[in-house]
Structure 1
Amino acid sequence: MKCKTPSLNPLRIQPTQDRNERFEEEEVHEQPLSPVSRLFHEPGANVHIITIIGMKTLINPDVFKANLVHLLRKNHRFSSLQVLDKENGKMTWVPTQVNLDDHVAVPKLDPNMESGDKFVEDYISNLSKSHIDYSKPLWDIHILNTKTLDAHGTCVFRTHHSLGDGISLINLLLACSRKASDPEALPTLPGSNKSGRQVRLVTDLRSLFMVIWNTIVALVVFISTVLFDLKDTKTPVTGYAGMEGKPRRFVFTRVSFDDIKLVKKALDVKVNDVVLGVIKAGLYRYLNRRYGAIENNDNHVPEDIRLHATLSFNMRPSTMIDFSSTDTTRGHGALGNKIAYVLLPFSIKHNQDSLDYVREVKTDMERKKASIEPLCTSFIAHLVMKLFGTKFAGKMKHRVYANTTFSFSNVPGPQEQISFLGHEVNYIAPGCYGQPMGLMICVLSYGDKVTFSISVEEETIPDPQNLCDDLQQSLHLIKSSLVG
């Protein structure tokens, strides 16, 4: 049944075609959007998440739809409208009936197309030109049954960021999946019992001083970026005003997880340090070419380039969300957006020893861990929203993105091969569009592979596949340096 909202100005609901195709959600009450979810509707922060899932077989749409019912039951947000009250600007979750045909697109494809990979890439890029219709819950799935280099069929899962962050959505995906080796068993995430907001233990006065000092330095940079328009050095990958409304190109590359673990163990660092070291080395190679290098060993990158990456930090006590909990707003049941942002300095320069890229990242990340920067930036964002409203907070967030060079997100994926909605998965490649920066890099581990997923604004980065190749080559050089 439809919920009446007399005090609101409800958006029009698309009529369903056949009652047998409807999913009737359990009765839930209307709830306001959280301030963070509301923030993702502001200009410059109106972000959509694209998750590309490559399947090992062709996708059966009927099987997909039948299994989608479980996804709707796991999260009421996927069966609720977001209704705006024009008088006070607030938005509310309003439960509604879901017609799966309104959310699942299965375009007819030319069996003789020249390149399935090019078609899929162009299709996803065209998706980034539009927003999901507000007259229905803000998600859709596109089934592309054409063979590509890495899959026999591709599922493109598009959600508005107000529905949840990367950790929330990957947990939802896993709740609708099973181990490929055991159809009755749920997949697991690595490090699911570890906190995403740990701060190095304060053991003495010196370590306490370091935490305070590192936090102050980080907040000075953050506040300067927001209030005083402190911008990164302009480079060939720097964005421009208004680019948040431009379409994106999504590409990805996969590397061996064992190679990353090998470097991790040899240098006594974290997996995230190796991943960011690879990105740092790869970005240097890419920029060096854009600045005019003919050979890779010719250094054309100007000195003292000042770049920052905007890192997303999980603020939950765990990477695992318990969907069996009746309270999905707190602790291990925390859905939605529970993230904070950290600005990580990225010095772009040539290192004779490729391992130095990882060592430098480790040093920078150690400073971040020996601080409470994520807690402070999260507190500042909530305080600004409370005192000055969502629109002002949206402008603040826009400035952070616009004044930094790229954003980075690292989401742990399933440790085993999985079957999602009845189909075995070969790869998962997440990304976003709608942010005011030219480059975003999302990293996700799955089984024995790590996927570097890159979303770019094409005028800024017209050759994203070259950047993928640079990341591949950088990991190879870093690994080779261990025995060199």
Structure 2
Amino acid sequence: MGSPGNETDEPLTPAGRLFLRPEMNQVIHCAMGLKHPIDVESVKSQARSSVMLTHPRFCSLMVRDTTGRERWRRTHIDLDSHFIVLDRPVSTLNDDESAVNQYLADMSTSSGLSYDKPLWEIHLLLAHKCVIFRVHHALGDGVSLMSMLLACCRREDDVNALPRIGSVGSRRNSEGGNRRGSWQWMKLLWGFLMMGWFTLVSVVEFVLRGLWVRDKETAISGGAGVELWPRMLATASFWLEDMKVVKKAVPGATINDVLFGVISSGLSRYLDHRSPNALQEGLRLTGVAMVNLRAQSGLQDLSDLMKDNSGSRWGNKFGMMLLPVYYHKSRSDPLQYLKRAKVMIDQKKHSLEAHFSYKIGYFVMTYLGSKAAGFLNYQIVCNTSFTISNIVGPQENLVVGVNPVTYMRVNSSTLPHALTMHMVSYAGRADMQILVAKNIIPDPEFLAKCFEEALLEMKEAAVAANKI
């Protein structure tokens, strides 16, 4: 690890170095269920011929030079050392979903990936027909890694075609075309003023969260050291069509607005169950969300990500947002959760919060070092209540080799939060992995049910509103 520098070595990005810090060490797990039994040699053969084995990050060791600086060094790939094949059930639990979730939960608190080889593995759970890609966050963010994964798969309806890459949502058309009257300039000026105000508020909150301001203690609160506690994992499943029905009930709403409405409603339900009549109406719970900062939203074509001059470059290109949701006991109008979430997210969209957090993190890492940056991020996580991420996945069914993929789910290794949620959409469905510290949240399956019922309740309200 303390080897001398090499002319061909590449330095890690500041974000990559952050994810190697002990307090922020992050490994991403992507689980793909397959329809038919897994042919191990077929999967290895496909991996051997895939673009993954030509990608610089997947073919490099993480080393430290004599000054302690982290660098990528190209190396030969021993493919067999990256495959972990388990031919027996990984759990005594009866169903495959629960068994795989327990396996992922155990890995979330394990020792991580070996630095003796490139920082990725593929686990084949033969008894459960599941493939798990385990990749260190230092190699790239969710958008980069999902784009790489999809480049290794093919569409079920055309095994010679790559999956189509979607985006989070369509851009709203600007009203008024190219007119530039006085009203348009006033509107533009007002927009800049609002952006400045919301950005200032965000900057102040980031500073305070990094110092001492903390969410009020609730039944889902984590804190320093909780990243070491044992975990449990449950899955909440949603139909995208249901989310679209709810979205249409509130003009201008997006799928992300619906997601945060569901989280607010679901957490309110869960806290009612755990702490009946103990919480103040309107209590704020703050989430930490990662936001893609690339010029093009959603997933990118892998070739675009690999271009040095691309605005959608490979790596960790995301900012952080603090997204509050609020506890409300009354659920007389379920769509109120969506309306409140939309107002909050619209304000965030008018700010430069995500860009600011990226720049300040880059500055701290560059000039104060990884220890200071790791401490700052750790404090922000300790002073908030949960982590949430949402990645848009492929719109159509995929195959690995000739084996159809039945589901796609993502989670990561632990943080000081007692609750982390990662949602990925796949072929009309969205699965949210709910990773919890089991000594704080002992019933993640019930929490998952709270989220699922929250969406169904919103859908019923949206359908009823449309009929009036």
TM over 0.5: yes
**Alignment partner, residue 137 of structure 1:** 118
Among 189, 200, 218, which residue is 1:205 paired with?
189
The answer for the alignment partner of 2:33 in structure 1 is 54
CA contact (8 A) 1:248 1:433 kept: no
How far apart are the structure 2 equivalents of 1:60 and 1:371? Answer: 49
Matched position secondary structure for 2:434: strand
Aligned with 1:374 (options 351, 354, 359): 354
CA distance in 1, matches of 2:436, 2:168: 30
Q: Which amino acid in structure 2 is aligned with residue 275 of structure 1?
A: L
Shift of 1:325: 4.9
Residue identity matched to 1:62: E
Q: Which amino acid aligns with 1:232?
A: D
Following the alignment from structure 1 to structure 2, what is the Cα–Cα distance between the partners of residues 370 and 82? 38
Q: 1:360 to 1:193 in 2, by over 3 A?
A: closer
Instruction: Show the counterpart of 1:7.
Output: 4
**Is the aligned partner of 1:190 residue 2:187?**
no
* Match of residue 222, structure 2, among 224, 239, 258: 239
Tell me if structure 2 keeps the 8 A contact 1:178–1:420.
Answer: yes
CA gap of 1:154–1:281, structure 2 versus 1, over 3 A, is same
Give the direction of change, closer, same or farther, for the CA distance of 1:260–1:331 in structure 2 (3 Å limit).
same
Count of aligned pairs:
445
Divergent runs of 4+, >4 A: 110-114, 192-195
What is the DSSP-based 3-state SS (H/G/I as helix, E as strand, rest coil) of the residue aligned with 1:317? coil
TM-fit CA distance, 1:103: 1.1
Following TM superposition, by how much is the alpha carbon of 1:418 offset from its aligned partner in structure 2, in angstroms? 0.8
Match of 1:348 in 2: 327
Paired residue type of 1:449: R
Instruction: Determine if contact 2:91/2:99 at 8 Å carries over to the other structure.
Output: no
1:286 aligns with 2:270: yes
Instruction: For residues 387-444 of structure 1, give each alpha carbon's deviation from its aligned partner in whole angstroms, at most 9, with x where no partner exists.
Output: 2111101100111111110011110100111113542111111011131111111111
- The 1:482/1:321 distance shift into structure 2, 3 A limit, reads closer
| Residue 387 (str. 1) matches residue 367 (str. 2) | yes
Match of 1:40 in 2: 19
Question: Aligned equivalents of 2:249 and 2:91: distance in 1?
Answer: 48
Question: Cα 1:353–1:94, aligned 2, differ >3 Å: closer, same or farther?
Answer: same
Q: Quote the Cα distance in structure 2 between the aligned partners of 1:374 and 1:325.
A: 22
Alpha-carbon distance, 1:75 to partner:
2.2
Percent identical: 33
Counterpart Cα distance in 1 of 2:316 and 2:413? 17
Provide the C-alpha distance between the structure 1 equivalents of 2:206 and 2:93, rounded to a whole number of angstroms: 48
Partner SS, residue 371 of structure 1: coil
5+ residue gaps, structure 1, are 11-27, 148-152, 196-200, 293-298
Equivalent of 1:218, from 180, 202, 222?
A: 202
For the residues of structure 1 that align with 2:290 and 2:153, how far apart are their CA atoms?
25
Residue 141 of structure 2 is matched in structure 1 by 165
Other-structure match for 1:358: 338
Contact 1:45 1:398 in 2 (8 A): yes
Cα contact 2:165–2:301 (8 A) shared by 1: no
Q: Which moved more, 1:396-405 or 1:302-311?
A: 302-311
Q: What's the CA shift string for 1:296-334, capped at 9, x where partnerless?
A: xxx553334221111110011123333335944442551
Counterpart code for 1:246: W
Q: State which of 236, 239, 248 in structure 2 corresponds to 1:253.
A: 236
Partner of 1:401 in structure 2? Answer: 381
1:67, 1:422 within 8 Å by CA — same for their partners in 2? Answer: no
The 8 Å contact of residues 313 and 339 in structure 1, kept in 2 or not, is answered as yes
1:154 matches 2:130: yes
2-structure distance, mates of 1:421, 1:71: 14
2:447 is aligned to 467
1:426 to 406, 413, 437: 406
Q: Structure 1: how far apart are the matches of 2:320 and 2:91?
A: 46
Q: Following TM superposition, by how much is the alpha carbon of 1:114 offset from its aligned partner in structure 2, in angstroms?
A: 5.7
Q: Which residue of 1 aligns with 2:456?
A: 476
SS at match of 2:303: coil
Cα distance between partner residues in 2 of 1:330 and 1:478? 44
Give the alignment's Cα RMSD to 1 decimal: 2.4
Alignment-mate amino acid for residue 103 of structure 1:
H
Query: Does residue 276 of the first structure (1) align with residue 276 of the second (2)?
Result: no
Report the Cα distance in structure 2 between the residues aligned to 1:330 and 1:320, rounded to whole angstroms.
Answer: 18
Q: CA distance change for structure 1 residues 397 and 207 in 2, over 3 Å: closer, same or farther?
A: same
Q: What's the TM-score once normalised by structure 1's chain length?
A: 0.87
Return 243-252 or 169-178, whichever deviates more.
Answer: 243-252
CA–CA distance in structure 2, aligned partners of residues 71 and 168 of structure 1: 13
> CA, structure 1 residues 262+230, in 2 after alignment: closer, same or farther (shift >3 Å)?
same
Q: CA offsets per residue over residues 58-90 of structure 1, 9 Å max, x none?
A: 1111111111121423522111110023x4221
Assess if the C-alpha contact under 8 Å between 1:354 and 1:477 holds in 2.
yes
Matches within 5 A, 1:79-90: 79-85=59-65, 87-90=66-69
Give the distance between the partners of 1:217 and 1:282, measured in 2 at CA.
27
Amino acid at match of 2:451: L
Partner Cα distance (1:326, 1:349) in 2: 42
Q: Are 1:177 and 2:177 counterparts?
A: no
* Whole-angstrom CA distance in 1 between matches of 2:169 and 2:256: 17
One-letter amino acid matched to 1:316: R
Amino acid in structure 2 at the alignment position of 1:182? D
What corresponds to 2:179 in structure 1? none
Residue 244 of structure 1 and its aligned partner are, at CA, apart by 1.8
Query: What is the SS of the residue equivalent to 1:43?
Result: coil
> Displacement of 1:253 after TM fit?
2.3
**What is the alpha-carbon distance in structure 1 between the residues aligned to residue 284 and residue 2 of structure 2?**
51
* Matched-pair contact (CA < 8 Å) for 1:445–1:451: yes
Q: Is the 8 A contact 1:175 1:186 kept in 2?
A: yes
